[in-house]
Structure 1
Amino acid sequence: MLHSLYEFWTSAAGNSPLEWVAVITGFACVWLAARESLWNFPVAIFSCILFAVVYYRSQLYSDSLLQGFFILMSIYGWYEWLYGGNRNTALVVTRTRPWEWAVVGVGTVVFTLGFGYYLRHHTDAALPYWDSFTTAGSLGAQYLLTRKRLENWLIWILVDLIYVPLLWYKDLHPTSGLYAVYLILAAYGYVEWRRAARVAAVTPTPVS
């Protein structure tokens, strides 16, 4: 019994200190995003650099490459949150446009099938289609987040539900636990942003 508990703790402790630092900073950036704090972007950039290495070592190549996109989107989102609103003002929380839903939906299907096929037949990637789907969903969710679209949190909830067992299967136990916490944060973020969207909808736009 004690031996089994020791093995579980050793496994849950993670593969390296690098993964733990990535997990802690990953938690911080999502919490800050749920609170609509601009600090989520610099923290996200640092966390993504670490996760790129963690995923690559675990043969999750699609998710490793995804971190590079997140870094670029974090830079873009940082600017958009500051100046992407009316008359170069700060963005407010709004609903996702129908054309944005169409782009995210079609893009997710195309990316999942195309990149999943490539990973399956040309690499030693583990779970290529699941890897590709979570990557595609994350791309869509991150774009909507940079535009402060409320429904980005709904996509994150779906993606996190898949990431938890996938990462546990790949022995990334701290990271799997992080995504379980992300589920809670995504639900919290949705509630907070929905409240912010209601406020923004009834607040007159200032005239310069």
Structure 2
Amino acid sequence: MDWLNDVVAPLNQALFELNGHAVTWAELLGFVSGGLCVWLTMRASVLNFPVGIVNCALFLVLFMSARLWAGAGLQIVFIVLGAIGWWQWRRGQVADVPVRTASPLLLAGCLAAVVVGTAGLTVLLRAADDVSPFWDALTTALALAAQWLLNTRRIATWYFWIAADCIYVPLYASQGLYLTAVIYVLFLGLCLNGLRLWRSSAAGTNATPSTVAA
């Protein structure tokens, strides 16, 4: 796997220090691509998927170096789900489906999956010497539920993203990933605005987010 190490080595190169902790190319580029991805998602643009895949690849490198194993593994899942969502939106399977609410049964299923997923992942992460097993597990479970809801344009996706972001900010700050913590403050603000736009869209007001097929 020497070739893989050669590929990711430049991304782990420190650019500058922030409060005594090095900021790498992976973290800086993750900041830029992540902000762009959430803005595109807020606009219901299909371009959120390819940009999101790039963002996940950068965070995969970053979280592996920080020993946040669930967060790193989550990026692989996001890449797969992002590719599926991109294919669905491009083929029109979802692109022509309006933004809508989730049924109580779907929400209950997502919440149950978060509880079960958090419990199971916490046990695994403790065995893997994760630096913050419970919080890493909880945010991973919340993000997976959010991504599932996003792929089918459910407004509830934003509630799950908001909950995850509220935990991500102190989690990453506690590990010295200050720029990444700032990224998630930005994500939180964009998610709140995305919730407002999607709720307006579902209500049929003039704030309907545009759908861009690229």
Same fold (TM over 0.5): yes
SS of the equivalent of 1:15 reads strand
Q: How far apart are the structure 2 equivalents of 1:94 and 1:100?
A: 13
Q: Which residue of 2 aligns with 1:142?
A: 147
* Distance in 1 between residues matched to 2:87 and 2:109, nearest whole Å: 22
Looking at structure 1, the residues matched to 204 and 40 of structure 2 have their Cα atoms a distance apart, in angstroms, of: 20
Residues 185, 14 of structure 1: alpha-carbon distance in 2 compared, 3 angstrom cutoff: farther
Matched, 1:35 2:40: no
Residue number among 71, 74, 99 corresponding to 1:63 in the alignment = 71
In the alignment, what sits opposite 1:16?
24
**Which structure 1 residue ranges, 5 or more long, are not aligned?**
1-8, 201-208
Match of 2:56 among 48, 52, 56: 48
CA shift, 1:15, in A, is 2.6
Instruction: Identify which of 84, 87, 90 aligns with 2:93.
Output: 84
Q: Deviations over 1:100-119 (max 9, x none)?
A: 11221111111111110111
Per-residue deviation, 1:127: 1.1
Is contact 2:17-2:23 (8 Å) kept?
no
Secondary structure of the corresponding residue to residue 131 of structure 2? coil
With structure 2 as the length reference, what TM-score do the two structures score? 0.84
Gaps of 5+ in 2: 1-15, 206-214
Matched, 1:159 2:164: yes
Q: Normalized against structure 1, the TM-score is what? A: 0.86
Q: Which residue of 1 aligns with 2:112?
A: 106
Report Cα offsets for 1:58-103 as digits up to 9, x if no partner. Answer: 0100000000111111111113334225xxx622101012221122
SS of the counterpart of 1:159? helix
Question: Are 1:14 and 1:20, in contact at CA under 8 Å, matched by a contact in 2?
Answer: no
SS in 2 for 1:10: strand
Equivalent pairs: percent with the same residue?
A: 35
Given residue 150 of structure 2, which amino acid in structure 1 is its aligned partner?
L
Give the number of the structure whose alpha-carbon radius of gyration is greater.
Answer: 1
In 2, distance between residues paired with 1:66 and 1:14? 23
SS of structure 2 residue aligned to 1:103: helix
d(CA) in 2 for partners of 1:182, 1:81:
22
Q: CA-atom RMSD, angstroms?
A: 1.6
More strand by share: 2
Between the aligned partners of 1:101 and 1:34, the Cα distance in structure 2 is: 21
Once the two structures are TM-superposed, the CA of residue 19 in structure 1 deviates from its matched residue by: 0.9
Q: CA deviation at 1:156?
A: 0.9
Aligned residues: 188
Runs of 4 or more, structure 1, over 4 Å off, are: none
Q: CA deviation at 1:14?
A: 4.5
Q: Give the match for residue 5 of structure 1.
A: none
Which deviations, in whole Å up to 9, do the C-alpha atoms of 1:96-150 show, x marking residues without a partner? 1222112211111111111101111x21101101100000000000110111001
Matched, 1:168 2:176: no
For the 8 Å contact 2:102–2:154, the answer to whether it is kept is: yes
Cα distance between partner residues in 2 of 1:20 and 1:124: 26
